[in-house]
Amino acid sequence: MAAAPIEIAIVGHTNVGKTSLLRTLVRRRDFGAVSDSPGTTRHVESIDLHIDGASAVRYHDTPGLEDSAALLHYLKTLLPDATPVERVRAFLRGPEAKAAFEQEAKVLRTLLECDAAIYVIDCRQAVLPKYRYEIEILAACAKPVMPVLNFSNDPASCAAQWRETLTAYHLHTCVQFDAVAPFVGAERQLYEDLGVLLRERRAQLQDIIDELDWQSLERRRAARELVASLLVSAAAMRRDLSPADVADGARKAALLRRFKKDLSAQVAACVQALLAVYGFHPDDAEVDVAPWTQGRWESDLFSAHTLKDASQKLGTGAAVGAAVGLVADVALAGLSLGTGTALGAAVGSLASQGWSQVPRKIANRLRGVEELTLENAVLLVLAGSMVQLCAALDQRGHAALAKVRVASASASPSPSNADNHSSADTSPLHTLVASLAAARSYPHWESTPSTRRHSDTRRSALVEHIAQQLRALAQP
Ligand SMILES: Nc1nc2c(ncn2[C@@H]2O[C@H](COP(=O)(O)OP(=O)(O)OP(=O)(O)O)[C@@H](O)[C@H]2O)c(=O)[nH]1
Ligand SMILES: [Mg+2]
């Protein structure tokens, strides 16, 4: 039988980020109400952290403590010879628990029923007497208390002063946190420190740590795969434009608009999927693709990769292989229209043998068909933006209220040079974009709503390869 969940009360002064911390710990952006004004949480609200389908921790969010000075004074008037916890119990049975100290009574009643408390501190605040009274009241409940110094990313943090005070009250373990932008490892630290306070629950807490680590790796893996698939899809995008389309400016412009819209839809679908992986709302992030692309009007259709692939497909026929090899060599050296036409004619007869890429391109060339694809610069910016988005989501707490915005301007180190980059461009992003060239020959690798699931093993292999490259880029 699964062990009973560890019961933890989240307590502290009003407006210090208790509900926010809980949102982040259970990765539920929709839990409770969060606002800038004090007294937002009025009732105890509970939520479970599930591990392997079972409740591992039951958290209880509580209203903020407000008048600790008056409550501490009142507690001291009760049962002079009793222990502090007996006085707390007497208070909870008495009339004031339903009158002047109704909110505080909810907090203390909850704490007495829990295994431990997480005491949330807004460490931008100086250690005022009212906070010291709060600590004394919590200590009177005779439960392990773990302080969490929230807002510790803030430059005004008084964390050192708080640590000193907490030590004076025998609270030697405390965790620095920021519910909006948690540090890497802060959550792990919190559960490890709870294990120090709750020794008999240590194995259970270690299971939680292991599971959270695994979930975090899994989220990153899933995110990389989504981004890799988007990039492969974007690189594969290709539209053929007939000579009539090319000649008609309005038709050409409309096709270009449509092309951009298709790209935007793919990016939006990927962003939605990423937000779902990280447990955020669909409107929590925005990636702006509109300004990036004018498309790439391909006049040189003889890409080295296409030819290499065709040559591999042809394989056996020596004469054919030689012909394609010749085209590849010339293409790499730069192909003039005249040469292209001549070579196209030279290998045109191969079309009848059923190999797809080169004949189609040559046929297009001869028929005056243009192909619209994405520039490498666009792919570079897209890759940079998605890496940036993944890093932002990875670092984001579920208490964050502001939208993540990834703007194209800051997304790429040097998008303008990407199309004619030299061998000196060896940055991981450039290398990644170079790997995407393999997708350019396979327009059916594009993800459209009807082809979301691809069964092509070569596409899957390229997605995996790109995901590996993203791994090196995206690790915080
Ligand atoms: N930057 C930053 N803002 C935070 C953090 N924690 C909470 N906030 C903000 O602080 C305000 C109060 O947060 P709540 O979570 O409502 O605080 P609370 O302690 O539950 O408040 P009550 O329920 O009223 O006692 C909100 O505006 C939060 O967005 C944090 O770690 N960093
Ligand atoms: Mg609250």
Q: How far is CA 20 from the centre of its chain?
A: 18
Domain assignments of the chain as residue spans, ordered by start: 6-197, 219-295+374-474, 304-371
| Distances from the Cα of 226 to the Cα of 87, 235, 272, 408, angstroms | 57, 14, 10, 19
Torsion sign, CA atoms 464, 469, 474, 476: positive
User: 176 in ligand 1 pocket by Cβ < 6 Å?
Assistant: no
pLDDT score recorded for residue 361: 63
Q: Are 124 and 156 in contact (CB under 8 A)?
A: yes
Among the listed residues 278, 398, 402, the one whose alpha carbon sits nearest the alpha carbon of residue 22: 398
User: What is the C-alpha to C-alpha distance for residues 107 and 44, in angstroms, rounded to an integer?
Assistant: 8
Q: Which long-range contacts (CB under 8 A, 24 or more apart) does 386-389 make?
A: 386/227, 386/230, 386/231, 386/270, 386/287, 387/227, 387/429, 387/470, 387/473, 387/474, 389/271, 389/274, 389/285, 389/287
Which atom of ligand 1 lies nearest, measured to the CA of 33? 16
Determine the pLDDT at residue 61. Answer: 98
Which residues in the chain land under pLDDT 50? 297-304, 306-307, 309-355, 409-424, 476
72-82 pLDDT, tens digit per residue, is: 999 999 988 89
CA of 396 to the centre of ligand 1 (A): 15
Identify the pLDDT of residue 454: 67
What is the number of the ligand 1 atom nearest to the C-alpha of 152? Answer: 31
168 lines ligand 1 (CB under 6 A): no
> Which is it for strands 6-12 and 116-122: parallel, antiparallel or unpaired?
parallel
Is any atom of ligand 1 closer than 6 Å to the C-beta of 150?
yes
Quote the pLDDT of residue 71: 96
- The residue whose two tokens read 């890409």 is 303
Residue to probe by mutation, ligand 1, list 16, 20, 35, 122, most atoms within 8 Å of CB = 20
35 lines ligand 1 (CB under 6 A): yes
4: CA distance to ligand 2 center in Å? 26
Q: Whose CA is nearest to atom 27 of ligand 1?
A: 36
Q: Tell me if residue 71 falls in helix, strand or coil.
A: helix
CA–centroid distance, residue 50 to ligand 1 (Å): 24
Measured in Å, residue 55 CA sits from the centre of ligand 2 at 22
Note the CATH architecture for domain 6-197: 3-Layer(aba) Sandwich (3.40)
Burial environment of residue 352 by CB neighbours within 10 A (0 to 12, 13 to 18, 19 or more): exposed
